[in-house]
Each structure stands twice: as structure tokens, then as C-alpha cells.
């Protein structure tokens, strides 16, 4: 009987340890730091790398880590229904041109899906909804703003009766934009639509992973959740 093949490590051909690579990716994506900020902070701790190495590592390993986090979370959530989604879109400028970042947020504040388009019409809303529904399944309630593209797309999908709209109902999605906006300012905006899509997806997964709901729990519970999140992070792609 042939022996099962051992998975190839994504860290091969790199002289740095996986622990350092994970630390660099976490610092750059999770916190509003620039490439040179990460370089200087690590240098103070005895890790001497160039800011271009930070760029290389987050581009190379960020999507891998995000996919692993997303795969684990989706598998754990299959037994639970997504009771309520909050959908919203934010304006993002790329080389002076306006683009739209569509985001689906769960009722607990977890970013479920991110999708970048050049327009805000029915076709864009339909593509975004199909992508979210395919990965996370159907939602019982979908909260949106007054954009007419949502009911047009949901009418085609046959779930328009699940839509809700109100003045303050979509605050969950509005507040979830703030961490991304802080990262956008630190990165001095984006230059390509592809890079925006990649970073938005990676940032959403890592933010979900370290979202310990600190404002809802006591200090002891928060420390336990934080330690568990860090331990899980260190075991990614191990």
C-alpha cells in the first residue's frame, strides 16, 4: 500500500522561520501599520528584515492564511444558520477612479464576504450575492440600505421576501467598515483592483479570527479568547 504523500510546506525555500513569517503577516494585515512601520518594530525586537520582504510575505502568505482560516470557520458554521446578514458597499478610489467594495457582515459582526466591482448596478449586486450564498448558504434575513440594485438582484434569486431595510437597521455593516478604512489610510490607498480584492479578503479573514468581542466580555474571558486565537494562528499551515 503506497504511503500517503506529506503535504508540501508553503514555507520551503524561505530561510526565515514560519513563526517570524506569521508574525509579520499578522502585524501588517491586522494593525494599521505601514510596511516600514513593521520593519522598524521588528528591528527593535532583533528581527532584521526589509520592508519589501514584508510586502513579499503578506502577498505570498496572506491569502494562504486567510483561506485556511476561512475554511475552518465555514466548516464549523455549517451546522448553524446565518440568521441575519447585513449588506453594504463602500466607495474606494483606485488611481482616482471610484470603485465599490461590497461586504456581507453577519449578525455578530463577522465579515462573511468581500467583493470589488467597478459599478454598483444589478449585475454587480447579483454577482456579489451569488458568491456569498454559494460559500455560506442561505440567510433567513438580509438587511440592506436603499440601493435599488439589491431588490433587483434578490428578485432574480427568489429571496426578495427576506430583505429588510430601515434607517438604523444596517449599523452593523456600517461600523464594520471602520477597521478597513484605517488600513486603507495606512496603505495610502490602493493602485489596482486586484490588490484591493486580495487585501480586503485577507483583512476580513484575519480580523474575524482575532475578533474576541472585547466589549461584550470580562477581562478574564477576553484573555482566554485572545490566547486561543494566537495559538490557532501559530498552528496555521503547520
Angle (CA) 75-72-232 rounded to 5° is 150
DSSP label at residue 12: T
Helix (H) or strand (E) holding 195: helix 193-209
Burial of 231 from C-beta contacts in 10 A (0-12 / 13-18 / 19+): exposed
- Helices (H) and strands (E) counted in the chain, each on its own, are 8, 5
Q: Under CATH, which number does the domain 88-191 receive?
A: 3.30.420.10
How confident is the chain (238 residues) per 10-residue block, as mean pLDDT?
A: 65 87 94 93 93 94 91 70 84 91 88 92 94 86 92 92 86 86 86 91 91 84 91 84
Joined together, the cell numbers standing for residue 30 give: 491586522
What's residue 49's pLDDT?
Answer: 93
- Locate 236 and state its grid cell: 496555521
For the chain, give every residue range classified as CATH 3.30.420.10. 88-191
> Tell me, what's the pLDDT at 217?
85
pTM: 0.85
Give the three cell numbers for residue 187.
496603505
Joined together, the cell numbers standing for residue 33 give: 501599520
* DSSP annotation of 34: -
Amino acid at each position: 500500500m503506497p504511503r500517503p504523500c506529506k503535504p508540501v510546506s508553503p514555507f520551503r525555500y524561505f530561510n526565515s522561520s514560519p513563526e517570524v513569517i506569521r508574525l509579520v503577516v499578522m502585524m501588517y494585515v491586522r494593525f494599521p501599520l505601514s510596511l516600514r512601520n513593521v520593519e522598524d518594530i521588528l528591528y527593535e525586537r532583533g528581527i532584521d528584515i526589509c520592508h519589501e520582504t514584508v510586502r513579499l510575505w503578506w502577498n505570498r502568505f496572506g491569502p494562504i492564511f486567510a483561506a485556511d482560516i476561512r475554511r475552518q470557520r465555514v466548516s464549523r458554521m455549517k451546522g448553524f444558520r446565518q440568521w441575519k446578514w447585513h449588506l453594504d458597499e463602500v466607495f474606494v478610489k483606485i488611481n482616482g477612479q471610484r470603485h465599490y467594495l461590497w461586504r456581507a457582515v453577519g449578525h455578530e459582526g463577522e465579515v462573511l464576504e468581500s467583493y470589488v466591482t467597478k459599478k454598483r448596478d444589478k449585475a454587480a449586486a447579483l454577482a456579489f450575492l451569488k458568491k456569498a450564498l454559494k460559500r455560506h448558504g442561505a440567510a433567513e434575513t438580509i438587511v440592506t440600505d436603499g440601493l435599488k440594485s439589491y431588490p433587483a438582484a434578490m428578485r432574480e434569486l427568489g429571496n426578495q421576501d427576506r430583505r429588510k431595510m430601515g434607517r438604523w437597521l444596517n449599523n452593523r455593516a456600517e461600523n464594520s467598515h471602520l477597521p478597513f478604512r484605517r488600513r486603507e489610510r495606512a496603505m495610502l490607498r490602493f493602485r489596482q483592483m486586484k490588490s484591493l480584492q486580495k487585501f480586503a479578503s485577507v483583512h476580513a479573514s484575519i480580523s474575524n479570527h482575532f475578533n474576541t468581542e472585547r466589549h461584550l466580555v470580562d477581562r478574564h474571558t477576553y484573555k482566554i479568547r485572545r490566547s486561543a486565537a494566537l495559538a490557532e494562528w501559530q498552528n496555521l499551515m503547520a
